[in-house]
A and B are shown apart, each in its own frame.
Chain A
Amino acid sequence: GESVGLHLPTLSVQEGDNSIINCAYSNSASDYFIWYKQESGKGPQFIIDIRSNMDKRQGQRVTVLLNKTVKHLSLQIAATQPGDSAVYFCAETPRGFNKFYFGSGTKLNVKP
């Protein structure tokens, strides 16, 4: 809906395929990272998080990878379902701060 950017990059996948959403961050002091999912008309919903002392974390159907060398974060969704269609944001914050910086978002479109 209107809660997301007009020119968001869009990833279109077929139902059942795996999805990979990428995010680049610029602050080398960022210590904690979160992926959020935002559906139309709703607030962002927590998906998975990772701290800077890890490079991979797995949840249910989701995996987050962190590459601190190139300041890159990715979200992998296995067996993507139509209900996964939404805008996905990465968010980062430096250690000791509760001030998150959000990426511009990626729109995931799952085709049945």
Chain B
Amino acid sequence: KAGVTQTPRYLIKTRGQQVTLSCSPISGHRSVSWYQQTPGQGLQFLFEYFSETQRNKGNFPGRFSGRQFSNSRSEMNVSTLELGDSALYLCASSLVATGDDTQYFGPGTRLTVL
């Protein structure tokens, strides 16, 4: 079974631009979570989607948003990019949206904001 895939793998943007990242979960997985990983803050939870609905949300500003499609694929969008948004953005999928379900991660999208 194919793993979680994320596109693009690398992205360079400038301040003020917006960006959309894509995540395809493992086949059959219905929950998709997004995380931001930086050297200073480590891995931080952004949000989680299940059945096209946002079920959990982390402490990030409204510039960070996401959505999930009927095939469970998910996108996250960051508007008005800031230098501090440079990070590795990781997507993880799990079979259901309960708290005792293993999350499997994709390789991440490395975003650099100049």
Contact = CB atoms under 8 A, between A and B. Distances in A.
B66 interface: no
Given A4-B39, A98-B55, A42 B102 contact: no
Contacts of B102: 34, 46, 49
B39 A6 contact: yes
B40 interface: yes
Contacts of B98: 96, 98
B43 interface: yes
A101 B45 contact: yes
Contacts of B107: 41-43
Given A46-B102, A95-B99, A99-B56, A5 B42 contact: yes
Nearest to A104: B42
A101 B103 CA distance: 12
B103 A100 contact: yes
B40 A5 contact: yes
Nearest to B90: A43
Interface of B: 4, 31, 33, 35, 37, 39-40, 42-45, 48, 50, 55-56, 58, 88, 90, 92, 94, 97-108
Interface of A: 2-6, 31-32, 34, 36, 41-46, 49, 51, 89, 91, 93-105
